[in-house]
Structure 1
Amino acid sequence: MQMSTAHFRKAAVLCGLLGALAAGPASGEALQPFKDALFSQPIVLESRDGGDFEVIDYQELRDINGRDQIPERRVKSKYVDLGVKRQQANETLQLPSGNLEVARVGQAEGAAFTVIFIHGRGGDRRLGINDVSFGGNFNRLKNLAVKNGGVYYAPSVPSFDEAGVAAVSGLIAHAAARSPGRPVVLACASMGSFICWGAARDAHTVSHLAGLAILGGATDPSFIGSAAHKAKLPVFFTHGSRDSVYAPADQIALYDRLHKAGYPTRFTLFETGSHGTPVRMSDWRSILNWLLAAR
């Protein structure tokens, strides 16, 4: 399979970001590798749009039972580095919308970049910092942030309506103020996607963002015409082909509409994956590298 030309886009942006990171990766990508042999070597079943749309092989026996010591509860130790927990703190931030409980991993001031993860219904900040569930994928995200001079926030979202959007918008502004001029990525899973789509409608919030990641989320046709759409804020979708909560066909249709118009977007579809598959299987390094470069 040929490497997508999107990998090489906006070299000047990458160079500027590399200067801000603690150490530059030899590959020339924005983020240095972390356990890529375990997380970043998927089997591509289908590729189109110059590599912007990919269908990835997913098998429960291999990707859950073969990866976990206790299926869906504890990943095998080789997938994680728990030393990152020393860089982790629970905080209560006083924001214009009120107090917001967050877990922060990495430096609060002068971070090279910020990633904010929004959980779905029934979750809280503990979900986004869980090292041993979800195949160790959040542990990898935490390590990618810390080892590259960034900061990662996992807030407890109070609701998935306007109040929740206001709280997360306040967190985005908080992070941007503590690391001026550095990119902020907002990633939302499942019902948390309502927060991403809500934030996308506010021009001030969008001005702080470098990109959105939607993991197994709802589709928002009204995104077209939003402040984020007008700003061409990059969007990376990941979804399971057998998601029974949010139909993959609806999300693919939105991607297709955006991509055909030349909008910066990518889509990873996990073949046979269910609603929760993107949280376990999404390649955080690939997502962040593309969003940071595309912006």
Structure 2
Amino acid sequence: MPQSTVHCLRRLVFAAVFTALAVQDAAALTLKPWKDELFGYGTVIETSDDGALSVVDYQEMRDINRRDQVPERRVKSAYVSTAVKTAQKNATLDTPAGPIDVAMTGKGEGAAFTVIFIHGRGGDRRLGNNDWNFGGNFNRLKNLAVRGGGVYYAASVPSFDDKGAARVSGLILTAKALSPDAPVILACASMGSFICARVARDPVAVKSLSGMVLMGGAADGDYSKTAAFKAKLPVFFTHGDSDSVYQANDQIAVFRKLRKAGVPARFVLFQTGGHGTPVRMTDWRETLNWLFAQ
């Protein structure tokens, strides 16, 4: 057989192997269903922006009063599995920017993925680690992390200024060092979006991120000037359309600017939802799988 033919066959074999490995890697980053029948979105009332924006039916009577054993205080037990408590701990992690307190669930090293949640005003790591409040949504996230071989950090942010953002950037770099081949997702709720906005301007931290989630956050009118925008970092927005703290239309305007510039972006708008609705109702499995696919 001519030498060139042998080389051609070898290239074809290598290409097939690499393609198979890529498919396996993609499959490994698809979170399997867990309580989807309870946490998945209900009726999609309408879509726009080529399907990237979805308006989801939300009803307080159904999604709070019937879901919770004690409304807004304790979800029904069907929504929770506390088996993840064996995989969680409180820790203070040393980062390049200084120590940061976290509630950590999952693998400390070699994780398949990392999710970092940043609370809003008045919160700390306990908020994102709460199994029974917020409709059990954080318990589901913890279970998805453990079942998917990932790690979830609920961080305590010391402040919502540059100092606080530096600690979160440091946590991102630390998480990436512990699991260098895994995507890192930063999720910010409410006033925590100020942290996401500052991290988006940190080119070193952005290089270690694979996506951001903004839940009922403040609109960043200058996002197009950030390192995250230039890197086309994927962003998933969730918002209540009756949010009286941060207006949904302001955030939708940012979302559309990102889309126009070719930045991967999705938006889930909860009809009649208020400021706290995204923390309770965001479908973590759908959100993370979309970000992983980008």
Normalised by the length of structure 2, the TM-score is 0.91
CA distance in 2, matches of 1:113, 1:95: 19
Residue 54 of structure 1 aligns to which amino acid in structure 2?
S
Shift of 1:99: 1.8
CA distance in 2, matches of 1:90, 1:38: 28
Correspondence list, 1:269-280, <5 A: 269-280=269-280
Contact 2:213 2:237 in 1 (8 A): yes
Match of 1:18 in 2: 27
1:173 aligns with 2:173: yes
Shift of 1:14: 6.3
SS at match of 1:204: helix
Identity of aligned residues (%): 63
1:37-56 per-position Cα deviation (integer Å, ceiling 9, x unaligned): 11114110111223210000
Match of 1:198 in 2: 198
Match of 2:283 in 1: 283
Match of 1:6 in 2: none
1:137-180 per-position Cα deviation (integer Å, ceiling 9, x unaligned): 00000000100000000110000000011000000001000001
1:23-44 per-position Cα deviation (integer Å, ceiling 9, x unaligned): xxxxxxx111110011114110
CA distance in 2, matches of 1:185, 1:89: 20
In structure 2, relative to structure 1, the CA distance for the partners of 1:53 and 1:15 (3 Å cut) is: farther
SS at match of 1:243: coil
In structure 2, relative to structure 1, the CA distance for the partners of 1:158 and 1:14 (3 Å cut) is: farther
Match of 2:102 in 1: 102
Shift of 1:123: 0.2
Contact 1:44 1:57 in 2 (8 A): yes
In structure 2, relative to structure 1, the CA distance for the partners of 1:69 and 1:13 (3 Å cut) is: farther
Structure exhibiting the larger radius of gyration computed from Cα positions = 2
Match of 1:246 in 2: 246
1:205-255 per-position Cα deviation (integer Å, ceiling 9, x unaligned): 001000000000001011112111111000000000110100111001111
Match of 1:221 in 2: 221
CA RMSD of aligned residues (A): 1.4
Shift of 1:100: 1.0
In structure 2, relative to structure 1, the CA distance for the partners of 1:131 and 1:92 (3 Å cut) is: same
CA distance in 1, matches of 2:101, 2:78: 31
Contact 1:239 1:268 in 2 (8 A): yes
CA distance in 2, matches of 1:17, 1:206: 22
CA distance in 2, matches of 1:13, 1:238: 30
Residue 78 of structure 2 aligns to which amino acid in structure 1?
K
Match of 2:84 in 1: 84
**Which consecutive segments of 4 or more residues in structure 1 shift more than 3 A?**
11-15
Residue 25 of structure 2 aligns to which amino acid in structure 1?
G
1:127 aligns with 2:127: yes
Contact 2:241 2:271 in 1 (8 A): yes
CA distance in 2, matches of 1:90, 1:257: 39
5+ residue gaps, structure 1 = 1-10, 22-29
